[in-house]
Amino acid sequence: MMHNRSSGRLGLKVIHRHRVGSHEFRRVSELVFVRGRPKAILGWIDVGGLRTPIYLADLDPAKLKKAAAARDTYYYDDVTVDPRYEELGPPPEQRKTG
């Protein structure tokens, strides 16, 4: 079981603003590229002793900038959203009004 999340991190990381419900804060997440598209890993599960990502946030490549001081770190100039804390329901364009 991994208690210290940061000790198991290898590779790239991204520093970004992150929103959980109505709270926004600065966060460091692991950065991965899936088919060339950047994604922040927001959550992990343990599957048979293997650390496996479960929640990913899509990142806009135009808003992702490499940090000058650290070769494995990027900054993301936008807010990511944790899907676990978003309201469930139809997208806004499908909601009935009135």
pLDDT for res 72: 95
Q: Is residue 50 part of a domain?
A: yes
Higher pLDDT, 60 or 93: 60
Tell me the residue range of the domain where 34 lies.
Answer: 5-83
* Strands 73-81, 13-20: pairing kind: parallel
pLDDT in tens, 10-56: 689 999 999 988 889 999 999 999 999 999 999 989 999 998 888 99
Residue 95 lies in a domain: no
Question: pLDDT averaged over the chain?
Answer: 84
Question: Which uninterrupted H or E stretch holds 39?
Answer: strand 37-47
In a domain, 98, yes or no: no
pLDDT band at 97 (very low <50, low <70, confident <90, very high): low
- The total of structural domains in the chain comes to 1
Please report whether residue 88 resides in a domain. no
Residue at 9 is within a domain? yes
DSSP string, 2-20: ---GGGG--S-EEEEEEEE
